[in-house]
C-alpha cells in the first residue's frame, strides 16, 4: 500500500469515527480505548482575572477512556506495574 493510499485510509477511518461521535455514539478500539460523548450539567465557573462568577451552560463533550491494555503498556514503559500503582494509591 502506498503512502497516499495509507493516508486516505486513515482519513476515511477518522472521518467515520468523527461522524459516529458527533451522532452521540461511542467508538471502541480494541486494546486501545473508547471515545465517548458525555453530557456536562450547567455549573458556575469563575473568571480567573476578576473572580466574578460566570454561568457555564450545559454541553456535550467528547472524552477518551484508555483500555486497561493501554494503561498497562504505559506503566510498563515507565518501569511500573499496575499493582505497584494501586499499592501506592492505597498507601496515600
Give the pTM.
0.68
Number of domains in the chain: 1
Average confidence (pLDDT) over 77-92: 61
Question: Domain containing 44 — which CATH number?
Answer: 4.10.520.10
Q: Give dist(CA 38, CA 66) in Å, integer.
A: 15
**Residue 48 lies inside a defined structural domain of this protein:** yes
In a domain, 20, yes or no: yes
**How far is CA 60 from its chain centroid?**
14
Whether the CB-CB separation of 37 and 61 falls below 8 Å is answered with: yes
Please write the tens of the pLDDT for every residue from 25-46.
Answer: 999 999 999 999 999 999 999 9
Taking all residues of the chain, what is their mean pLDDT, rounded to a whole number?
A: 89
Q: What is the pLDDT of residue 83?
A: 64
Q: Nearest-CA neighbor of 36 among 24, 50, 45?
A: 24
Range of the domain at 17: 3-65
| pLDDT at residue number 51 | 93
Collapse the DSSP code of 57 into the 3-class scheme (helix H, G, I; strand E, B; otherwise coil) and give the result.
coil
Amino acid at each position: 500500500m502506498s503512502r497516499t493510499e495509507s493516508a486516505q485510509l486513515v482519513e476515511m477511518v477518522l472521518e467515520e469515527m468523527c461522524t459516529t461521535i458527533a451522532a452521540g455514539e461511542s467508538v471502541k478500539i480494541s486494546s486501545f480505548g473508547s471515545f465517548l460523548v458525555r453530557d456536562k450539567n450547567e455549573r458556575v465557573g469563575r473568571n480567573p482575572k476578576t473572580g466574578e462568577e460566570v454561568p457555564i451552560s450545559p454541553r456535550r463533550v467528547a472524552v477518551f477512556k484508555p483500555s486497561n491494555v493501554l494503561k498497562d503498556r504505559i506503566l510498563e514503559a515507565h518501569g511500573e506495574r499496575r499493582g505497584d500503582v494501586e499499592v501506592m494509591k492505597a498507601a496515600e
